[in-house]
Amino acid sequence: MDNINRGNAISLFIINKKIINNLIVMTSLSRLFKPFADFLTENRCLICGKGRKLICQECEEKIAPLRQSVCPFCLKITSFGHTCSDCQLKHALKGAVVGFDYQNKAVSTIIKASKYPPFLYPLLAKLTNHLKSFFADQSFYENYFKTNDFTIMPIPLSKQKIAERGFNQSEIIASGLQKMLELKLDSKNLVKHKDTISQVNLNIKNRKTNIKNSFSVINHQALKNKKILLVDDLITTGATIEEAAKTLKRAGAQEVWALALARNLRPRSSPPMNSPKEKN
Q: With CA atoms as reference, report the closest residue to 256 among 143, 99, 92, 77.
A: 92
Site size for Zn ion (CB under 5 A) = 10
Minimum CB distance to Zn ion, residue 74 (Å): 3
Determine, following the binding rule CB under 5 A, whether residue 84 of this chain makes contact with Zn ion: yes
Distances (CA, A) of 40 to 34, 111, 248, 265: 10, 16, 40, 31
Quick one: which of 47, 172, 261, 262 contacts Zn ion (CB under 5 A)?
Answer: 47
* Identity at 19, one-letter amino acid code: I
Cβ closer to Zn ion: 87 or 183? Answer: 87
Give least dist CB 50 to Zn ion, A. 6
Position 56 contacts Zn ion (CB under 5 A):
yes
Question: What whole-number distance in Å separates Cα of residue 243 and Cα of residue 249?
Answer: 10
Q: Does 63 bind Zn ion (CB under 5 A)?
A: no
DSSP string, 77-117: B-GGGBPPHHHHTT----EEEEEEETTSHHHHHHHHHHHST
- 204 lines the binding site for Zn ion (CB under 5 A): no
CA dist 270 and 194 (Å) reads 31
Q: How far is the CB of 90 from Zn ion (least distance, A)?
A: 10
The verdict on 157 binding Zn ion (CB under 5 A) reads no
- Tell me whether residue 110 or residue 157 sits nearer to Zn ion (CB atom): 110
How far, in Å, are 18, 192, 226 from residue 158 at the CA level? 27, 5, 24
* Window of 44-52, 176-184, 200-208, 258-266 that interacts with Zn ion by CB under 5 A: 44-52
The answer to whether residue 87 forms part of the interface with Zn ion (CB under 5 A) is yes
Q: Residue 147: enclosing H or E segment and its boundaries?
A: helix 139-147
**Residue 190 · residue 217 · CB < 8 Å:** yes
Greatest CA span in the chain, whole angstroms? 73
Question: Which of 66, 70, 71, 217 is in the footprint of Zn ion by CB under 5 A?
Answer: 71
Helix (H) or strand (E) holding 70: none
Task: Pick the closer one to Zn ion by CB: 56 or 92.
Answer: 56
Q: Is 259 in the site for Zn ion (CB under 5 A)?
A: no
Q: Which residues bind Zn ion (CB under 5 A)?
A: 45, 47-48, 56, 59, 71, 73-74, 84, 87
